[in-house]
Amino acid sequence: MTQFSKTDEEWRAMLDPEQYNVCRLKATERPFTGKYNSTKTKGVYHCVCCNEPLFSSETKFDSGCGWPSFYAPIGESAMVEIRDTTHGMIRTEVVCATCDAHLGHVFPDGPPPTGLRYCINSVCLDLVPSE
């Protein structure tokens, strides 16, 4: 359930064009172009739209898919899963539970312990490094 809302004009003023297209219009950044695809920096990844914590770097892994991948969110209530049947596929979209920002998709082909791969667009994230 959304706890944080803005008008379309407020989102456009707050986000850069790529962030707006991905987070609010459900677009996708090109694979292997995102700033967090290869990063190994320790910390917590927050939603770029509302600053809610979404993923810990401890759950990040290199899936080779071209987007940052995580095997678990920071908490069960961090995001909402939505059935996505666009582009002739059946997938599970993940959106921020606080602001409904489109983050990416989750797939059942990740590593233990969850077996999940949260494939997330870098432009949706803001990494807060740990010290």
Give the residue numbers annotated as catalytic, written as ranges.
Answer: 119
Residue 1 is predicted with a pLDDT of 46
The rounded average pLDDT for each run of 10 residues, N- to C-terminus, in the chain (131 residues) is: 78 96 96 95 97 97 95 94 88 95 96 97 96 71
Q: Does residue 52 form part of some domain?
A: yes
CB 48 within 8 A of CB 19: yes
**Own/partner pairs for 3-7, CB < 8 Å, 24+ apart?**
3/97, 3/98, 3/99, 4/49, 4/50, 4/98, 4/99, 5/99, 5/100, 6/99
Residue 3 is predicted with a pLDDT of 65
Q: Does residue 122 form part of some domain?
A: yes
Q: What is the pTM of this model?
A: 0.93
Number of domains present in the structure of the chain: 1
Q: Does residue 1 form part of some domain?
A: no
Collapsed DSSP state (helix, strand, coil) of residue 46: strand
CATH code, domain carrying 46: 2.170.150.20
Q: Which domain, by its residues, includes 43?
A: 8-129
Q: Does residue 90 form part of some domain?
A: yes
H helix intervals, 38-96: none
Q: Does residue 105 form part of some domain?
A: yes
Q: Does residue 107 form part of some domain?
A: yes
